[in-house]
Copies of this chain bind each other. A is one copy, B any other.
Amino acid sequence: MDKTKINETLRRNVALLSKQSERELGMMPATVAPLPSVEMVKRIVTLVKSIIFPDYFEKRQPDEAIRAYHIGVWMEELTTLLTKQIAHGLQFCEDCEANSTKAQVYGIAEEKALAFIDALPEIKRLLYTDIQAMFDNDPAAPNFGEVIFCYPSMNTMTHYRIAHKLHELQVPVIPRIITEQAHSKTGIDIHPGATIGEYFAIDHGTGVVIGETAIIGNHVTLYQGVTLGAKSFKYDENGNMLNIPRHPILEDHVTVYSNASILGRITIGHDSVIGGNIWVTHSVPPYSRIQQSKAVDVAFQDGAGI
């Protein structure tokens, strides 16, 4: 082909694509600083994993003092990167930054980053209760190593517990980037705003959805495909959806089997068991056992063409 035509096509479309439409501009923060970097957020999560599971995701190191060197280096990198990404993320919070200079934004970001650093020991403690729960619940788990190395639920919970802390610290955008990275890897979609107690277990996990305002107690277990969702949306007088509590509350020691959907701001009482493949939209009292009325409602036929 005539090289001239290729070059013309390139130049014409470069010109078109360099222009930002009204819509595109309207979607950007009013600031001019860089936006958060998905790659850097990924690195942040990797650093937290190294800090919390050094023997598994880095190199086994039995000596505490030597291990402290490594953890110290990761912690320093973490603090630097996190401060910067929080500062970039704060552009999406129009209120809080309204009259802020760049230095003020960094000051706020630094405080949030340090608060996160101070929360790491508790995040670590919680994650080790999750390991225990997942190991205890699964007859196919032959050892803790398999849980820590392989279980998509452990990967997801690590992302979620990091993201939830940042959400509590009112960091915009970053928490969701973090949970969506886990969603992408595991098919488990937990909103960073959800509240989840200790000893939490998910088995298999693909298709699990836990909404923004869900509240989950301790010792709760979910199986694949479980949705803790909203039943319907409320609107204000202008027709805008309202972001209010709309997802279920699961009290302690609840188990929900695969593909069950629990919808709306209802409460599943403690020590209840929800059977697979069902659709629950009303609260149930403690110690309930709920399942499909006819578990196998099938017709035997012969003949092709289903």
Binding site for B on A (CB under 8 A): 1, 3, 5-7, 9-11, 13-21, 23-24, 27-29, 32-36, 38, 51-52, 55-57, 59-60, 62-73, 75-76, 79, 92, 107, 110-111, 114, 117-118, 120-121, 124-125, 128, 131-132, 137-140, 142-146, 148-152, 172-173, 176-177, 180, 183-187, 189, 191, 193, 204, 206-207, 209, 211-212, 224-225, 227, 229, 232-233, 241-243, 246, 257-259, 261, 263, 273, 275-282, 284, 287-293, 295-306
Is the beta-carbon distance between A117 and B10 smaller than 8 angstroms?
yes
- Among A9, A52, A59, A139, the one with the most B-chain Cβ atoms within 10 Å of its Cβ is A139
Q: A-side binding surface: helix, strand, loop or mixed?
A: mixed
Residues of B within 8 A of A10 (CB): 66, 72, 75-76, 79, 117
Can you name the residue of chain B whose Cβ is closest to the Cβ of A290? Answer: B298
Complex: A166 Cα to B16 Cα, angstroms = 20
Residues of B within 8 A of A150 (CB): 173, 176-177, 180
Measured CB to CB, the closest approach of chain B to A86, in angstroms, equals: 13
